[in-house]
Structure 1
């Protein structure tokens, strides 16, 4: 499943929960608004933490790929020199 699908599904589920909670809220308006604000803040923190973890993971993958590319490039250059020496 793509990350964008997961994020969109999470946001839609959160919005549906907020709407349902508002419609059947047992508290007064100001309490409900305060609770919604707290939950919104918690969701924001959760999404931000997950996004940070995802970006760190992707960054690490690219760093590993870069290191492997450099290693293979050096190996290819060495092999090319060996072949050139054998031909000459």
Structure 2
């Protein structure tokens, strides 16, 4: 994982842990605490899902860029090889003609 991803995941985990601690030490009744916990778990789950979705899109974009660059390089290399083969073939033909 990249450093930015690690920082983001650490931030999310820290926020969730802080919220959980705050809820658990709050002087609310059990039912109210469970509702708060459930709400926070859903919110954190949604945030994590969004973060993962964003990272997946970022990785897809980078991968598409790399594939495109590789395709371009392959086409350039193919053209260079064709030119060299044609040059060698012409040289061989000229040599054979003499």
TM-score clears 0.5: yes
Which residue is equivalent to 2:49?
48
Q: Which structure is higher in RCO with an 8 Å CA cutoff and minimum separation 6? A: 2
Segment drifting more, 48-57 vs 77-86: 77-86
Alignment of 1:54-73 (within 5 A): 54-73=55-74
Q: Structure 2-normalised TM-score?
A: 0.75
- The Cα RMSD (Å) is 1.7
Structure number, greater radius of gyration: 2
Stretches of structure 1 lacking an aligned partner (at least 5 in a row) = none
Shift of residue 54 of structure 1?
0.8
Segment drifting more, 25-34 vs 13-22: 13-22
Q: Structure 1-normalised TM-score?
A: 0.83
Alignment of 1:76-87 (within 5 A): 76-87=77-88
